[in-house]
Amino acid sequence: MIKPPDSHGTGASPSGGAAQFQRQIAARIARKLDAHARPERIVWFGLGMMGLIGWSVTVPTLLGAALGNWLDRRHPGGHSWTLALLLAGLALGCWNAWHWVVRGHDD
C-alpha cells in the first residue's frame, strides 16, 4: 500500500519522501493504464484470479475433511471430526480467498 509522506507544510520543493511518493503514484498509474490498454490481459488475469481463489478455498477444505476423517477412524466418539474440520477448513479457505481478493485490489 502506498502511504503519503508526512507533510509539515514546508512549501516550495518536494522533499525526498514526497518525490518517492510521487514516483510510486506515477508507477501505479502507468500499470493501470497499461492494463486498460490490453483488455485480453485483464480477461486472463480475471480467470487466473478465479482459479487462485477456487484453489485457496478448495485445498484447506479438503485437507480439513481428510484430517477429520483420519481422526474419526483413529478416535471414534460422539461428534464428527470430519464435519468440524471440514467447516474449519472452509472458513480458513474463505478467509484466504478474501485476503487474495483484497490484495488484488491494492495493486
DSSP sequence for 67-85: HHHHHHHHS--SS-HHHHH
* Predicted pLDDT of residue 3: 53
Whether pTM exceeds 0.85: no
Residue-range domain boundaries for the chain:
39-106
The string of pLDDT tens digits covering residues 57-91 is: 999 999 999 999 999 999 988 889 999 999 999 99
* Start-end of H helices in 1-107: 16-37, 39-74, 81-106
Angle between helices 39-74 and 16-37 (to 10 degrees): 100
The string of pLDDT tens digits covering residues 26-69 is: 998 888 887 777 766 667 777 777 787 888 899 999 999 999 99
